[in-house]
């Protein structure tokens, strides 16, 4: 399996607090890797560093051989990295359809093939003129978005034209995933996709992630529901206080005494141990 993502000595400080402290990580194509750890362990910060929303103070991040340590999020998205957010961030005033179509932005030919300095101008002209190539790709994307939404059964398809703010919380999180899939990512980062969902919804989400995995999608997952993690993951990475304290297949990690202690002995009380 090819190596898709490599982190070397990645570090991020906020004032006096070291959120991510020298993390190394290797991620291979086709894997489903879960990152777990108590609250405040630095998981979301790690995601932010990988996706370019934040910049590491030290270390190196490579995606498919390309150095993305200081790359802007737009560029990282264009390389094929899609993410969802911890609290679910959809475009509230846009319809479900438009939300998902935005996911495909980096795949649009008129965006990808825009020439250097006058790129915005050509993009503008093509958008105004709408030549057959553009129209064709748009039609293809419309068809594709229906396929993506079909993953979620009847939850989203009937609501194609509804604005996202009118959706239930669970539906909004589903739209987020649909949007990520529209990017046709080489690597999908899911930040607590089942946060705030009840059992039925969580089970549905588990099923969807499993389907995606079966199709060969490479997934990096942050999750708190440890039974989910254990059932889905090929490998698990455990973080605590910004440091990677364990890594390996789920069975090995679950019994690792350091992991148990991190959860049990952690000041953030209330963690459920699988």
Partner 1 sequence: MGSWFDYTINGLIIGNIYALLAVGLALIFGVSHLINFAQGSIYTVGAYIGWTCVTYLHTPLPVTMLIVLAGCALLGIAIERIGLRPLAGAARIAPLLATIGIGLVLDQVLQLIFTPDPRALPDPLPGWRIPVGGGTIGAMDLLIAAIGLVSGAVLFVFLRYTKLGWAVRATALDRDAARQMGVDTDAVNRTVFAIAGALGGLSGLMVGMYYNHIDTAMSFQATLKGVVAQVIGGMGSVPGAILGSLLLGLIESWGVALFGSSYRNLFAFALLLLILVLRPNGLFASSRQAPPEPLTGTFIAPSRAIRVPPWVVVACALGAAALPLVPNIPYALQTLTNGWLYAILALSLTLVAGTVGQISLGHAGFLAIGAYASALLALDLNVPVVVAVPVAGVITAILGTALIFPAFRLRGHYVSIATLGVGEIVGLVILNWESLTRGPIGVTGIPPLPLDSVEGAYWISLGLLVGLALLQVRLVGSHLGRAFRAIRDDDVAARAYGISLNRYKGLAFAVGGFAAGISGAVTAHLYSYINYETFTSQISILALTMVILGGLGNIPGAIVGAVALIGLPELFRATAEWRMLIYGITLLLLIRFRPQGLLGTV
Contact residues for partner 1, defined by CB under 8 A: 14-15, 51-54, 72-74, 77-78, 82-83, 85, 87, 89-94, 98, 101-103, 105-106, 108, 110-111, 119-120, 123-124, 127-128, 130, 138, 163, 165, 179, 183
User: Least distance in Å: CB of 189 to partner 1?
Assistant: 10
The tokens 């009937």 sit on which residue?
A: 158
Nearer to partner 1, 28 or 184 (CB): 184
User: Least distance in Å: CB of 136 to partner 1?
Assistant: 13
Nearer to partner 1, 54 or 240 (CB): 54
User: Least distance in Å: CB of 248 to partner 1?
Assistant: 30
Please count the residues of the chain.
274
Structure tokens at 180: 């990520």
Asked whether 93 and 103 are in contact (CB, 8 A), the reply is no
Secondary structure (3-state) at 76: helix
User: Least distance in Å: CB of 139 to partner 1?
Assistant: 13
Nearer to partner 1, 49 or 209 (CB): 49
Dihedral sign for Cα atoms in the order 183, 24, 12, 33:
positive
CA distances from 120 to 51, 130, 132, 139 (A): 24, 15, 19, 23
Distance CA 73, CA 88 (A): 18
User: Least distance in Å: CB of 135 to partner 1?
Assistant: 10
Nearer to partner 1, 24 or 74 (CB): 74
CB-based contacts of 210, cutoff 8 Å, min separation 6: 232
Nearer to partner 1, 87 or 136 (CB): 87
């Amino acid at each position: 399996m090819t190596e898709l993502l490599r982190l070397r000595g990645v570090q991020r400080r906020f004032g006096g607090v070291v959120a991510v402290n020298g993390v190394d990580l290797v991620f291979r194509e086709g894997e489903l890797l879960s990152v777990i750890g108590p609250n405040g362990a630095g998981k979301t910060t790690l995601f932010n560093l990988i996706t370019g929303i934040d910049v590491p103070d030290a270390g190196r991040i490579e995606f498919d051989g390309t150095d993305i340590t200081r790359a802007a999020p737009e560029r990282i998205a264009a390389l094929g990295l899609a993410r969802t957010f911890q609290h679910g961030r959809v475009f509230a005033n846009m319809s479900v359809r438009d939300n998902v179509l935005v996911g495909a932005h980096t795949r649009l030919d008129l965006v990808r093939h825009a020439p250097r300095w006058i790129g915005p101008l050509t993009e503008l002209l093509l958008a105004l003129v709408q030549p057959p190539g553009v129209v064709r790709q748009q039609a293809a994307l419309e068809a594709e978005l229906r396929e993506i939404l079909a993953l979620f059964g009847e939850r989203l398809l009937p609501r194609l034209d509804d604005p996202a703010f009118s959706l239930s919380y669970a539906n909004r999180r589903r739209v987020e995933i649909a949007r990520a899939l529209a990017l046709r990512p080489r690597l999908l980062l899911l930040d607590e996709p089942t946060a705030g969902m009840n059992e039925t919804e969580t089970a549905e989400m588990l099923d969807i992630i499993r389907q995606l995995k079966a199709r060969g999608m490479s997934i990096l997952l942050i999750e708190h529901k440890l039974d989910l993690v254990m059932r889905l993951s090929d490998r698990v990475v455990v973080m605590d206080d910004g440091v990677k304290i364990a890594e390996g297949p789920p069975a090995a990690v679950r019994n690792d005494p350091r992991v148990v202690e991190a959860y049990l002995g952690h000041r953030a009380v209330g963690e459920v141990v699988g």
